[in-house]
Amino acid sequence: MRRLVPPLLAALALALWPIVADAVLVAPHALFINAREPSGEVFLVNPSDATEEVTLEFQFGYPATDSLGEVGLALIPEPAPDQPSAAAWLRAFPRRVRLEPGQRQRVRILATPPAGLPDGEYWSRLIVTSRSARPPVAVSGDSAVQAGITFELRTITSVTFRQGPLTTGVRLDGFRTALRPDTLDAWVDLTREGTAAYLGSVRFELREPSGRAVKTWQTPIAVYYQQHRRFALPLDSVTPGPYQLHLLVSTAREDIGAEHVLPAEPIERLLAAVEVR
Amino acid sequence: MGRRRLVPLGGLVLALLARPSPTAAQQASINASAQVSIIALSIAGTQDLDFGTVASGTPMTIDPRTSVSAGRFQINGFPFGQFQLTFTLPALLQRFPGPATMPISFGATAACGRTTNVQATCGYFNPANPFLGRIRLAFPPNNNYFVWVGATVSPGVAQAPGVYQGAITATVAYTGN
């Protein structure tokens, strides 16, 4: 049954997708494969009304934060030897696809890790690039000067290769807040523990002094190494006054199958004095 | 960030697909479509950035918030999922065929984004910097984020006639996996 679900879903995806000029849908957004079953499948769907030329490539990368606490994807074309990159030994079949309007394509992702690879988790990003197959516009026959820009679209998803027993966890430090107009910034330092990336979520709950929750925010997180992260919590409709901010960090994920989420103990923190002005 | 209450995806999909009756099957299809729309990620171009005919020697700017000629694309994905959007921007447009070129530039307000398809109220951002956004907290087909792109072209006084073209590479990735 499980093997029937992805292609069926890929086929059904067309039903609710808007007709657009150029597009390729990539599913799933996170692929997990392991040493016992070293291959997986990605589905490409062209919901547009134009033929698309699609290429697939792999590159090492992971989410990382900057000094402002913003998270972004760090792509590393030439990873250091001690970085757990799977990019060099992942292959996509086919690697180039021409997708007609409405067409879907199954792509097999195969891992061929080097012999003697130590147990652990190895990461890569799958970069799917699509270009319209429309021919270039010919030179106009008159003396006019015309200008235009087309889009080349890239979708990046994750591929994780797991070998042997793995553990994950996260250490939380430096939980603090800073108030901006209409926004409460919550800062946390997250350090991954164990042998695999921490895929989970953070849930903030703003509470009255009595303990009654007045607002909650939740978002997925992925901690591959360390993150110095700022979460911007909008304070729309929050009445000024004293509050508490409760933080729960857990491996709860709604967008990734439970069989792929490594368990870890949840972490809770409470800031007892948060003043909203 | 905002509230989020979504059912676990995999279990629901499997449960729906296992139900046998025609009515249920139709319902399953609708719901399964919703689920794959949620867990997939796509970026779709809906309109190229079109300057049309430009006057030699006169720069022309397309504002991403106000111009109907602005380039437009949309991102679809997991409701409320955070994504990073980056652009690779050209500095020159190329005439095809031939060696002639035309400068193009992108200012700090050359891009504009919003969770709903309302261009006039989108928020400006600089396409030269990585942009962080969130997919609209809604079920398909409304789990979107819309982006408009403008630019300024500067044709020379003796610009050779023809059609000048270039490409913007727009890259989208989730930040949570």
**Are the Cβ atoms of B175 and A71 closer than 8 angstroms?**
yes
According to the model, what pLDDT value does residue B25 have?
Answer: 36
Rounded Cα distance between B92 and A175, Å, is 47
**Contact A25/B at CB under 8 A:** yes
In this prediction, residue B39 carries a pLDDT of: 66
What's the pLDDT score for residue A21? Answer: 55
Residues of chain B in contact with residue A231, where contact means CB-CB under 8 angstroms, are 1
Q: Which of B10, B42, B81 sits opposite A155 (nearest CB)?
A: B42
Q: Looking at CA atoms only, how far is residue B142 from chain A in angstroms?
A: 10
Q: Is B146 helix (H, G, I), strand (E, B) or coil?
A: strand
Q: Say whether residue A63 is in contact with chain B using an 8 A CB cutoff.
A: yes
Closest-CA distance, B160 to chain A, in angstroms, reads 7
Q: B114 CA to chain A: closest CA distance, Å? A: 16
CB contact (8 A) between residue A22 and residue B45 = yes
pLDDT < 70 regions, chain B: 1-39
Question: Number of Cβ pairs closer than 8 Å across A and B?
Answer: 265
Q: What is the pLDDT of residues B29-57, one digit of tens each?
A: 333 343 444 567 888 888 889 999 999 99
What does the angle CA A71 – CA A73 – CA A78 come to, to the nearest 5 degrees? 140
Tokens (6 digits) for B20: 């046998």
A15 touches B: beta carbon within 8 Å: yes
Q: Which pLDDT does position A217 carry in this prediction?
A: 93
Is A239 at the interface with chain B, CB within 8 A? no
Q: Do A9 and B14 touch (CB under 8 A)?
A: no
User: Which residues 86-145 of A are in CB contact (within 8 Å) with B?
Assistant: 125, 127, 132, 136-140, 142-145
Q: Note the pLDDT of residue A34.
A: 94
Flag whether residue B70 sits within 8 Å of chain A, measured between CB atoms. Answer: no
Q: Distance from B168 to chain A by nearest Cα, in Å?
A: 5
In this structure, are residues A98 and A52 in contact, taking their beta carbons and an 8 Å threshold?
yes
Stretch 30-49 of chain B: residues touching chain A, C-beta under 8 Å: 30, 32-49
**For position A141, what pLDDT does the model report?**
60
Question: So what's the pLDDT on residue A87?
Answer: 98
Contact check, Cβ <8 Å, A204/B50: no
- What was the pLDDT predicted at A265? 96
Q: What residues form DSSP beta bridges with A267? A: A249
Chain A residues within 8 A of B132 when measuring between CB atoms: 70-72
Which residues in chain B have Cβ-Cβ distances shorter than 8 Å to A230? none
**Angle formed at CA B142 by CA B138 and CA B144, multiple of 5 degrees:** 95
To the nearest whole Å, the CA of A68 is away from the closest chain B CA by 13
What's the pLDDT at A136?
53
Output the pLDDT for position A139: 52
When computed from its CA atoms, the radius of gyration of chain B, rounded to whole angstroms, is 21
User: In whole angstroms, what is the distance from residue B32 CA to residue B16 CA?
Assistant: 7
ipTM of the shown complex:
0.85
H or E stretch at A132: strand A120-132
Closest Cβ opposite residue A151 in set B38, B41, B73: B73
A139/B1 Cβ within 8 A: no
pLDDT > 70 in chain A, percent: 89
- Strand, coil or helix: B69: coil
Place of tokens 């603090």: A176
CA–CA separation, B46 and B87 (whole Å): 16
What distance in Å separates the CA atoms of residue A199 and residue A179, rounded to the nearest whole number?
Answer: 28
Report the residue of chain A nearest B76, measured CA to CA: A25
* pLDDT for A137: 56
Which of A22, A137, A144 is opposite residue B165, by nearest beta carbon? Answer: A137
Chain B residue with Cα closest to A48: B44
A8 pLDDT higher than 60: no
Lowest mean pLDDT segment, chosen from A3-17, A128-142, B119-133: A3-17
B58 to chain A, any CB pair closer than 8 A? The answer is no
CB contact B7 to A (< 8 Å): yes
Chain A residues touching residue B32 (CB < 8 angstroms): 8-9, 12
CB A28 within 8 A of CB B39: yes
Tell if the CB–CB gap between A136 and B96 is shorter than 8 Å: yes
Residue of B13, B16, B36, B84 to mutate for A, most A C-beta atoms under 10 A:
B36
Give the contacts of B170 (CB within 8 A, at least 6 positions apart).
A151, A152, A153, A154, B43, B45, B73, B85, B86, B87, B147
